[in-house]
Amino acid sequence: MHTTSPPSLESLYQLTDWELDQRIQAARNRLGEDLVILCHHYQREEVYKFADLTGDSLKLSRLASQRSQAKTIVFCGVHFMAEVADILSAPDQITLLPDLAAGCSMADMADLPQVVAAWKELGRVLPVETQVTPITYVNSTAELKAFCGQHQGTVCTSSNAGKILEWAFSQRPKVLFFPDQHLGRNSAKRMGIPLEEIVLYQPDLPLGGLTEAAIRKARVILWNGYCSVHQMFQPAHVELFRKRIPDVRIVVHPECSMEVCDLADDLGSTEQIQQVVRSAPPGSRFAIGTELNLVNRLKHEMPDRDIHFLCPTICMCSTMFRIDTQHLCWTLENLVQGQVVNRITVPKREAVLAKTALERMLQVC
């Protein structure tokens, strides 16, 4: 360690990459078993290389719930992921997010007052408590997970949305799915629900812009949210690759639009995308529709596969990118000095209800 008092974040921007790496490593060594660094696959390489454990949202949720011996979880990902870690980790563990501005624009597209208003509005058309299961994509605030916990609903991730929908239909005939319309539509369509029974609820419009008849007929009511990164992938990009590389395998994340997913060979979470590429024989050719950092890492790790980024422009998650080595170093060096910075604490009542919803998910898959 170079300092005896915690560094200012600004001062770390004066260091070289090599110096930052040395200091992060020194802080990790000092913290030893007390620290675990969890990293989402979209993290930039400079940060990802310091991960103790990596994963997609489901894997990271499970890891956080497995009561590691570490006193502190440093979560290199976005805010909702750190909230899940706080909810599922042991009561004596704490969770830190190196930059509190690392949010998720999709998660911001549905808030509790809006969802409560929608629930009430739907309740004027249907007996919601007996007819509708609320499902929130894990990319959402803890208070929406708590809402689902309270109303016999659950959470899903991009790797288990289909199974969670099946579970939901075994409970009640309809689902309210928020905030990602694409994951909801792609998953419902793949389980054979016709598009006429999938409707889009627009929270800014009276009755979500729907008629009472449409709500009564619907089996799946989707919230009008989306990921600004994944919506950049277009059907034309798939068609272009199919022309350029006839034996290409198109693999996309289910946050992409239905038009893109319908043209793809495989869709899956970030962990599942990696598995598809890893399990393919050398020489296989891929065009991948998900965040750029993950695709670049796969290219780098597997030079014997021909891996392309599906979009001709850069699709990066700017909020994931906020976690840089300076913030990681600052968080760790503060910890070494006994200072806790950027702790994520979900309020108790909310955490209990959100945990109910998350545990329902973990029991189903």
Q: Does 65 bind ligand SF4 (CB under 6 A)?
A: no
Residue 350 binding target from ligand 13P, ligand SF4, none, CB below 5 to 8 Å by type: none
Which pairing describes strands 220-223 and 198-201: parallel, antiparallel, or unpaired? Answer: parallel
At 359, list the tokens: 């545990």
Residue with smaller CB distance to ligand SF4, 89 or 293: 293
Of the candidates 6, 51, 52, 105, which one interacts with ligand SF4 according to CB under 6 A?
105
Residue 150 to residues 131, 133, 291, 357: CA-CA distances in angstroms? 15, 11, 33, 8
CA angle 305–306–312, rounded 5-degree value: 145
Residue 157 binding target from ligand 13P, ligand SF4, none, CB below 5 to 8 Å by type: ligand 13P
Q: Does 83 bind ligand SF4 (CB under 6 A)?
A: no
Q: Does 319 bind ligand SF4 (CB under 6 A)?
A: yes
Q: Does 94 bind ligand SF4 (CB under 6 A)?
A: no
At 308, list the tokens: 């392309």
Query: Which residues in 15-102 belong to E strands, given as ranges?
Result: 35-40, 53-55, 72-76, 94-96
Cα torsion for 135, 64, 271, 184, to the nearest 10°? 10
Residue with smaller CB distance to ligand 13P, 56 or 324: 56
- Give the contact letters, 15-44, x = binds to ligand SF4 (CB under 6 A), - = no: ------------------------------
Distance CA 228, CA 365 (A): 28
Q: Does 317 bind ligand SF4 (CB under 6 A)?
A: yes
**Torsion sign across C-alpha atoms 73, 76, 79, 81:** negative
Distance CA 22, CA 27 (A): 9
> What number of other Cβ atoms are within 10 A of residue 345's Cβ?
10
- Give the contact letters, 288-307, x = binds to ligand SF4 (CB under 6 A), - = no: ---x----------------
**Contacts of ligand SF4 in 192-221 (CB under 6 A):** none
Residue 105 binding target from ligand SF4, ligand 13P, none, CB below 5 to 8 Å by type: ligand SF4
Window of 102-110, 241-249, 301-309, 344-352 that interacts with ligand SF4 by CB under 6 A: 102-110
**Residue 269 C-beta: closest distance to ligand 13P, Å:** 3
Interface size with ligand SF4, residues (CB under 6 A) = 12
Question: Do the Cβ atoms of 285 and 306 come closer than 8 Å?
Answer: yes
Task: By CB under 6 A, name the binding residues for ligand SF4.
Answer: 78, 104-106, 139, 227, 229, 255, 291, 317, 319-320
